Amino acid sequence: MALRIPIRVLIPAAVFIVLVAVLAVGIEHSRDVGTIHSPLVGRPGPAWELPTLTDAGRKVGSSQLRGRWYLLNVWATWCFECRAEHDTLLQMQKVSPVPIVGMDWDDDDARALDYISRLGNPYEAIAADRDGHTAVDWGVYGAPETFLVDDQGRIVYKYVGPLTLEVWRTEFVSRLPANPAPSGS
């Protein structure tokens, strides 16, 4: 005897099954919820130039850094998680073949200088993005964020969240070239 399922049963049941499937997919991807996948990855980073925090007269930017690979680390004193990653940055600086350039985002200069002098300076240079223009240009949405930029100024990789040595090893080291660049002066 063939089983004839009436439409009034078939349609709600089908909708229900699809719904459960969709939600199951949702659970699988839930770790990723809220993370914005930056469309800039793989493309040339926007040109930027900012004054440095430590030396009022000196500027740092994409043109000065061209020809070298570097890490751009966006941080701020008001950012709770940045404090957590600071130790990692200090350790990374010792082992990393590429320099770490810091970008102090939407911050107060005095507080930032105090923070650096108290906790240590892992950065080759610290750009002061006082009004956040550059951050928006680079699609920053939540500190800390770290970009890996190649010698052509292209963004190779972006990590959102506080760095750990494990993340450094698994995500960044594999993306570094064999010969990053002559070290800058």
Partner 1 sequence: MLPELGHFALILALLLAGLQAFFGIAGPALRKERWMAATVPAVAGQFVMVLTAVGTLFYAFITYDFSVRYVAENSNSALPLIYRIAGLWGAHEGSLLLWIVLLACWTVAVTLGSSQLPRPFASRVLGVLGVVSFGFLLFTLATSNPFLRLEPPPADGRDLNPLLQDPGLAAHPPVLYTGYVGLAVAFAFACAAMLEGKLDQTWARWTRPWTTAAWAFLTCGITLGAWWSYYTLGWGGYWAWDPVENASFMPWLVATALIHSLAVTDKRGLFKSWTLLLAIIAFSLSLLGTFIVRSGVLVSVHSFAADPSRGKFILTFLGTIIGGAFTLYAWRAPLLKSDAGFELGARESFLLFNNILLVIAAATVLGGTLAPIIADAMHQTALSVGPPYFRPTFLLTIIPLLALAAIGIHANWKRGRLADHRKDVIRTLIVSFICAIAVVVGIYAGHQIMTILGVTLGLWIISSTLVDPLQRWRRGIAIPRHILGMTIAHLGLGVVVFALTTVESFTVERDISLARGESAQVGSYDFRFVGTSEVEGPNYNAVRAEIDVTRGGSHVTTLYPEKREFWVQRQERTVAGIHNRYGSDIFIALGDDLGAGRWSLRAQSRPVIWLVWLGPLLMALGSLIAISDRRYRAARAASAAMAPLPGGASESAR
Partner 2 sequence: MSASGSRLVRLSAGGCLAAALLLAAAAWSVDPQELPDPAMQARYQHLIHELRCVQCQNESLADSEVNVAGDVRRQVREMMLAGKSDDQIRDYLVARYSEFILFKPKYSWRNAWLWLAPFVLIGIGIAVAARIIRGRAALLATDTEIVDEDSPDAPR
What is the secondary structure of 49-99 as a DSSP string? EEEBSS-TT-EEEHHHHTTS-EEEEEE-TT-HHHHHHHHHHHHHHHH-SS-
Cβ proximity to partner 2, 4 vs 29, nearer residue: 29
What is the secondary structure of 113-130 as a DSSP string? HHHHHHH----SEEEEES
Selected binder of partner 2 within 75, 125, 158, 168 (CB under 8 A): 158
Closest distance between partner 2 and the C-beta of residue 40, in Å? 6
Closest distance between partner 1 and the C-beta of residue 28, in Å? 8
Selected binder of partner 2 within 2, 3, 32, 174 (CB under 8 A): 32
Cβ proximity to partner 2, 1 vs 33, nearer residue: 33
Q: Identify the DSSP state of 3.
A: -
What is the contact surface with partner 2 in residues (CB under 8 A)? 31-40, 76-81, 106-108, 111, 130-133, 135-142, 144, 158-162, 164, 167, 171
